[in-house]
Chains A and B, each alone.
Chain A
Amino acid sequence: MNLTLKVWRQKNSADKGKFETYEVSDISPDMSFLEMFDVLNEQLVNESRDPIHFDHDCREGICGMCSMYINGKPHGPKDAITTCQLHMRSFKDGDTIVVEPWRAKAFPVLKDLVVDRSSFDRIIQAGGYISVNTGGVPDANEIPIRKDIANEAMDAAQCIGCGACVAACKNASAMLFVSAKVSQLALLPQGQVERKSRVENMIAQMDGEGFGACTNTGACEAVCPKEISISNIARMNREYFSAKVSSQKV
């Protein structure tokens, strides 16, 4: 396959950045999108040019590091996969592919396609944890949890924190991410200790990071590689208002 790539290049967060066009040839349709970038970068290194910086780690769709906005959609044209799971057979020979970084005030571009997603880490630090006793490992299934509840919590826990929801949202809102984390813990008995303070603190942090509000367009769930449902956002709203009304924090 021969392809034309229009890729966002930006030296650092202070740089304005611009698109640059590259040609790649002899790309196998069986390559992943990131492998195609590896080929391009090898080409650039051989020409003594600065390779394109992009985030990646596991390349198995579970770490949440890869983050490319491909032809107007986070993680490219296919549903329910990350950029690393996207294969070149999803494109046609001769295609022009536009690749941009996630765009959000809370995700500043560090270099090229690499954005700083530590705002997500700070939201997790604000409440996305549970208190447990230290000591020996507890027995599995010691705490009974109904199967349907466990399933729902697991569906929410699938979130890998890649930020595609923020990238796709017209408001760069982080609601789907935060709601997945809130839901996962609110549904389980282990999450009850911090249940109220968690949602209050995580949402305060989310607002402070400069993410937008939710217009319920549903773009986030449509692009989520883990198919997290916006029913989690409704649950987070319920959690938030019941916590605000009933918690002791004034």
Chain B
Amino acid sequence: MSWLTETLTSTLGRKVIMALTGIFLILFLAVHLTGNLQLLKNDGGEAFNIYAEFMSTNPLIQFVSKGNFFFILLHVLISIFLTRKNRQARPVSYQVAVKSETSTWSSRNMGILGTLIFVFLIIHLKGFWYEMHFGQIPYKNYDGFEARDLYAVVDQAFSQWYWVAVYLVGMLAVAFHLSHGFQSAFQTLGLNHVKYSPAIRFVGLAFAILVPAGFAAIPIMMFFT
């Protein structure tokens, strides 16, 4: 085995892949939220539709988008490998275990939270991404710029309460996943320092609350308007 495969298939190497893909997805979330907040602009979807048209046709964005899908799948795949190894490491479980005193709930349930997020992602992608790329969305003309009316699709979805409910559950899972994942990624990369770790934990917690809350605000506000 070459040193590189040995490194990347070791438990530490796999954790680093989890951390790096995780940080990429965190950055993606920030960009995705910034774009999506345009849905709340009171312009009948003009800004959002122009933005969505740009994002789904620009070759550079499309390249990064493929990378994003790849990193999601890699994050999931490696987590399956790690979970299998972790399960095998304790074949007989304890009769009594006081876990809540020594660790947070989300840190112990990253797999369950991740699975929830994955199911949410499939619903989310089928609803909007698939429609945008393979569906028949009518074009709208904005001062000579042709853009598909994705806003109408989103607006239609979020007028139904069950779509809103799915998004709220999904964002709750993302929030708890991030509340551990953000700071955990830095720890895995070895970035633990008495000066910076408190700041990383604070930013992580703020991100885990604010970003999912921002995403959740979109279906709620679109439902009530």
Contact = CB atoms under 8 A, between A and B. Distances in A.
Contact of B14 (A8, A213, A216, A235): A213
Contact of B95 (A19, A170, A212, A234): A19
A211 interface: yes
Given A105-B91, A172-B89, A237 B188 contact: yes
Contacts of A170: 86, 90, 99, 103, 108
B188 A212 contact: no
Listed residue (B3, B102, B108, B194) with the most chain A CB atoms within 10 angstroms of its CB: B102
Interface stretch (A31-39, A40-48, A49-57, A68-76): A68-76
A206 B180 CA distance: 25
Contacts of A237: 12, 15-16, 188-190
B25 interface: no
Interface residues on B, range: 35 or more
B97 interface: yes
A73 B98 CA distance: 6
Interface in A49-103: 69, 71-73, 98, 100, 103
A170 B99 CA distance: 9
Interface string B187-206: 11111101001000000000
16 contacts: A19-B95, A72-B99, A100-B94, A105-B90, A172-B86, A173-B89, A211-B89, A213-B85, A216-B107, A216-B187, A218-B107, A230-B192, A234-B187, A234-B191, A235-B192, A236-B12
Interface of A: 6, 8, 19, 69, 71-73, 98, 100, 103-106, 168, 170-173, 203-204, 206-207, 210-219, 222-223, 230-231, 233-238, 240-241, 244, 247, 249-250
